[in-house]
A and B are shown apart, each in its own frame.
Chain A
Amino acid sequence: MAALRIITDGGTGSSGGSGPDPRRILVIGGGIAGQAVVERVRERDTHVAITLLCGEDRLPYDRVSLSRILAEGEDASVLQLRPEAWYADRGVDVRLGSRVTALDADAGTATLATGEVLTFDRAVLCTGSDAFVPPIPGTDAPGVEVFRGPEDCEAIAAAVTAADAGRAVVIGGGLLGLEAAYGIATLGCPVTVVHLMDRLMERQLDAGAAALLAPAIEGLGVDVLLETSTTSIDAGPDGRVAGLTFADGTALRAGLVVVAVGIKPQAELARASGLAVERGIVVDDRMVTSHPKVLSVGECAQHRGVCHGIVAPIHEQAAVAADTLTGAADSAYLGSIPSAKLKVMGVGLVTAGEASGEREVLVADAGVYRKLVVDAEDRVVGTVLLGDTRGAELLLEAVRSGLEAPDPLALLAAASAATAAELPDAAQICNCNGVCKGDILKAITDGDLGSTQEVVSVTRAGAGCGSCKPLVTELLAHARGGAVEEATYLCPCKKLTRADIAGHVRDGGLQSVSEIATACGAGRDCGACKPGMAYLVSEINGNQHREERHARFINDRVHANIQNDGTFSVVPRMRGGVTTPAELRRIADVADKYDIPTVKVTGGQRIDLLGVRKEDLPAVWEELDMPSGHAYAKSVRTVKTCVGTTHCRFGLGDAMGVGIELETAMEGLYTPAKVKAAVTGCPRNCAEAYVKDIGLVAVEGGWEIYVGGAAGASVRKGDLLATVDTADEAQRVALAFLQYYREHADYLERTYTYMERVGPEAVQAEVLDPEKQEEYLERYRIAKAACDPDPWKERHAPATPKQFASLDTAPALLPVGPPAGAEA
C-alpha cells in the first residue's frame, strides 16, 4: 500500500489540472508567513489551486518558539505548524526543498533550482529574512553560529556540549540575542552577551526598564557587556573560534560565538525579478508589490517604509493578502503596532508600541517597572511592563485600540489591580489554545458551567500550560456573580464527584466502567473521566473488577508511554535502581536490534528506551525478559535508593535491601496519581527520600517515614509521618499509607496535594492507629494479590485483538509462554 504522500492537485504548468478552477496561486517561502497566506486563502476559497514552495526540507514551523528547542530541549518537530495530512486534506500542493531561481512576473512563471518551470496567476513572496551578520572579520570560522533555524539550535547545542566549549558569547542584546543566551545558559554553559548599544533591547525599552532588565538577565547566569563593539572574531590554531577582540583592545576567550544582531529581509529574488526593493520588497496597502501579479507578506515585505520582524504583523498582512488574492473583501493593511514578549524563564517582560513619548506615567520599584505612554490627544500609544506584567492583556488591548486615557496613571494603577471582569472580550486569556475572554463567558452562559474544571474541559482555556487557570476561575466567579462552587467532579459532564460515583459502585455492586455508565451516565459524553472511573472501580473491588481496556488511556492499553511522535517508551522494572551486567547486556542488545533512537537513564534510577514503535513492543519485552516498570501508568513507579550500609561508610540502614523489598511489595498497584518512593540509608538523603511521595530515611536507631514530598512541578518536603524502630515497621507504615492514599485521594491528586488538603494529623490518626493500620494492610494485601505484577506478559496473550498492531498489519507472533499463573 502506498505510504503517506502529499497529493498534488492537478498538473503544474500545463492545462491538465483536475479541478474546474484553473487559477493558481504560488506561495514562495514556507515560513510562518507562507503558511499564514495559505491558510487565509483556503479559508476564503476552497477551489483555487495553491502551491507552497518551502526552501527548507521541512514543513512550515513556528520559528518564534525557536528558543524552546534550545532552552527546553524540544525536538524541532514539535514546532511544526501543521501535520503533513493537513496539506493533503486541503488540496495544497506543498513542495519541500524547492528554491526558486528566477521569477518572470509578466509571463507568470517561476523557475526552480531543478530547472522545472511552474506557472502562476498570482505569486506571493514570503521569503522572510536571513540572520544579519555584521562585517566583522572572522565570522566564517567554525564555531560561529547564527540563531535562525532548528539546525542553528542543533549546532549551538552541539558546540555547548562539546567538552572544551568553555564560554559562549552572544553578539547582540536584543530579543533574539537574549533568548539565545538564555537557551545556552540553560544548557549549563557560561555565556556573555555583548551588545553594541548602551542598553539591552533598545528598540523596545527605555533606559529605565533596560537598567532593570540587565540585572534580571544576569540573575539567570548570563553576563552582560554593554557599549562593547566587537572588532574581530579570532580563531585558534585549529581554525575554530577561540575568542573575540573588542574596540577598546580587550579580548574574551570563547569556544562558541552566536551572532544575533538582527535580520535582513531576503529580497534577492524580488530584486533580480525587477520588483521595487528598498530595505525589503516594497508593497502597497493591499500587499501588492510593484508588479500587480506579485504580492509579498512577512519579514521580506516593506510596507510604508517599515519591515516588521515580529510575528503579529505577519498574520494581519496575510489576511489582507488573502482578500486581495481571492477578491473576498476590499481590505487594507495600515501597519501594525509592534509588541514583544521576552520568552525567558523568570523574567516577565511585555512591551507594545512606543517606549517613550508625549506623556509618560511610570511606577517603578525594586525589580518592577511599569510604564504607560500617551500621545498629545490622550490616546495610549505604548507600554512597558517589566518584573510585574499584571494587567498586560488590558494594556496591550489599550495600545492596540488607541484607548483614550485622560488619566493614564489611573489606568496603569487599575491595570495592576485589573480583575478579569475589566478585560475586553477580545483579550486572549489562554495563549496556548488561543481562547478569548468572550469565548469563555459565552461557554459559561451557554453551558451553565459551575466549576473551573468544566470551563477548562469545554473551552480548553487552561488545558495547555495551565498558567491562565486562576484567570479562568476569576472569570467564572465574575460570570456567576460570586465565589465559585469548586466541587471537583470526576465526571464534569454529568457533574458527579468521586464520592457520588463510588456510591453507585458500592450500592450497585458495579464491576466495570460500562456498568457505571449504564447506572449514572458518567463517561458517555466526552469519555475524559473513564480512566478515573477505571481506577475507582478497580480500587473499590480490590482489583477483582472487570477490566475494560476502552476505559484506559493508550499507555495502559499497550503498557508503554506514548511520545510526541506516536512512538512509545519502554522502562523495565529495575527494583531499587539495582541491575546486573546480564540485564544491561540485554538492554543494549535490544536497543541495537530495534534501532531504538534514545536510551536514557531516568531520574528514578532505571533505563528508558525511547522511540519504540507500537508493533515492536511485544518483541522488545520478550527480548528484554524483564517485567514492566509501570513507568507509563498512574501507579507505583520506583523506589530510588542509595547504597546504604552495603558500601557506604556513613550508612545507617540497608537502603538497597529495604528499597527492593518495598518496591516488590508495592509494584503493580494502581494509584490515584503516580507514586514515587525512595529509601535512603542516612539523613544525607542521597536518594532524595524527603521529596518523594513515600520516603524512608534510616536514622541512628530507627527509620523515619516521610509522605507527600515532591520535587517536580511543585517542590515540597514531605511530612514526617512517623519514626519507628525497625525497617519492617517502616514498611508497614509505608504500605498502610499507600492503601490509605489509594482509598481517599481524588483521581490525579498527588500525595503532596492531598497532604496539603487534609493535613498530616488526619493521616496519622488513620495510618498509625494499630487497629486501623491492620485494616489498611489487609485491604492492601487483597488488592496486591489480585493485581497484575507484569502486564508485559500480554505479549503472549493479547488482551484485545490487534492490541499492538494496525488493522492492516499482522500482530507479531511470539512463542506462547507458560500458562498465566504457572510461576506464581
Chain B
Amino acid sequence: MAFRSAWVPVGRAEDVPLLEGRSVTVGPQRIAVFRLPSGWAAIDHACPHRGGPLADGIVADRCVTCPLHNRRYDLRTGMQVGGDDRVATYEIREAADGTLELLVPAALMVGTEDLAQSAPLGSGV
C-alpha cells in the first residue's frame, strides 16, 4: 500500500519536562521529542556521528548536545552547529487534551498504520 504522511499520537505532554527530551519509536525510527521555552521540537533520536541518544542531551533554548561526543544540533533546522551533519526534523504539536502529535512523513509510515488516528493530511511532506 502507499503510505501518506499523517499526525500520529506519540505520548503525553506532561511526560516531557521543560528543556529535556524523551524518545519514542515511530515505525522504523526512534525520534527525540523536546519541550523548549518556545514550544515543541522533534528530531531523530540517533546522533549521525556514533548513534548517541540525543533525547538524553543537554538542551538550550534552541539546540541539543549529544551526550556521547558533544556534537550539537539546531532543533529547528536539524543542522549540526559547527559541522556538516544534520538530523531529520519533524513537525510536532500538543493537542488540547495534552496528547503530543507528530507529523510522520510518508517514508516512516511503515508499521504505523495502527497508530494513525486522524485521516492523512495533504498528499505528502
Contact = CB atoms under 8 A, between A and B. Distances in A.
Interface of A: 1-7, 78, 80, 82-86, 88-89, 91, 433, 443, 458-460, 463-464, 523-528, 530-531, 549-551, 553-554, 557, 562, 564-566, 800-802, 805-808
5 smallest CB-CB distances across A and B, nearest first, come from A2-B111, A527-B60, A807-B11, A550-B19, A83-B51
Contacts of A566: 51-53, 56, 68
A4 B30 contact: yes
A525 B61 contact: yes
Nearest to A439: B82
A528 B66 CA distance: 11
Given A83-B50, A802-B22, A808-B24, A562 B63 contact: no
Given A1-B25, A549-B17, A808-B25, A89 B60 contact: no
Contact of B15 (A82, A459, A550, A802): A802
Contact of B60 (A3, A524, A807): A524
B83 to A, nearest CB: 6
Q: Which of B19, B29, B61, B88 has the most CB of A within 10 A?
A: B19
B46 interface: yes
A85 B52 CA distance: 11
A2 B27 contact: yes
Interface in B90-125: 100, 107, 110-112, 115
Interface string B28-63: 111001000000000010111111110111111101
B56 A554 contact: yes
Given A524-B61, A554-B67, A2 B82 contact: no
A807 B50 contact: no
A805 B55 CA distance: 11
B79 interface: no
Contacts, number: 141
Contacts of B112: 1-2
B58 A801 contact: no
Given A83-B51, A566-B51, A549 B58 contact: no
B23 A2 contact: no
Contacts of B83: 433, 460
B106 to A, nearest CB: 9
Interface in B76-93: 81-83, 88
A5 B108 CA distance: 10
A800 B20 contact: yes
A4 B47 contact: no
B20 A85 contact: no
A315 to B, nearest CB: 15
A554 B57 contact: yes
A528 B81 CA distance: 13
A807 B17 CA distance: 12
Given A2-B110, A5-B28, A808-B24, A83 B46 contact: yes
Contacts of B58: 527-528, 530-531, 550-551, 553-554
Nearest to B35: A550
A805 B22 CA distance: 8
Contacts of B26: 1
Contact of B59 (A433, A527, A805): A527
Contacts of A3: 25, 28
A562 B67 contact: yes
Contacts of B51: 80, 83-85, 565-566
A632 to B, nearest CB: 11
27 contacts: A1-B27, A1-B111, A2-B28, A5-B111, A7-B107, A83-B46, A83-B49, A85-B30, A86-B48, A88-B28, A88-B29, A89-B44, A91-B107, A463-B70, A524-B60, A524-B61, A528-B70, A549-B17, A550-B17, A550-B58, A557-B20, A557-B56, A566-B52, A801-B15, A801-B16, A806-B55, A807-B15
B110 to A, nearest CB: 7
Given A1-B111, A562-B67, A566-B52, A806 B25 contact: yes
Contact of A553 (B30, B53, B67): B67
B47 A83 contact: yes
A323 B95 CA distance: 48
Nearest to B115: A1
A527 B65 contact: yes
A446 to B, nearest CB: 11
A550 B20 contact: yes
Contacts of A525: 60-61, 63
Given A550-B59, A554-B58, A800-B17, 4 more contacts: A4-B28, A550-B19, A554-B56, A806-B22
Nearest to A562: B67
A440 to B, nearest CB: 11
B60 A526 contact: yes
Contacts of A458: 82
Contacts of B81: 526
B12 to A, nearest CB: 8
Nearest to B46: A85
Contacts of B16: 801-802, 807
Contacts of B57: 554
Given A89-B88, A526-B81, A806 B24 contact: yes
B14 to A, nearest CB: 6
Q: Which of B20, B55, B72 has the most CB of A within 10 A?
A: B20
B28 A6 contact: yes
Contacts of A807: 10-12, 15-16, 22-24, 33, 100
A550 B36 CA distance: 11
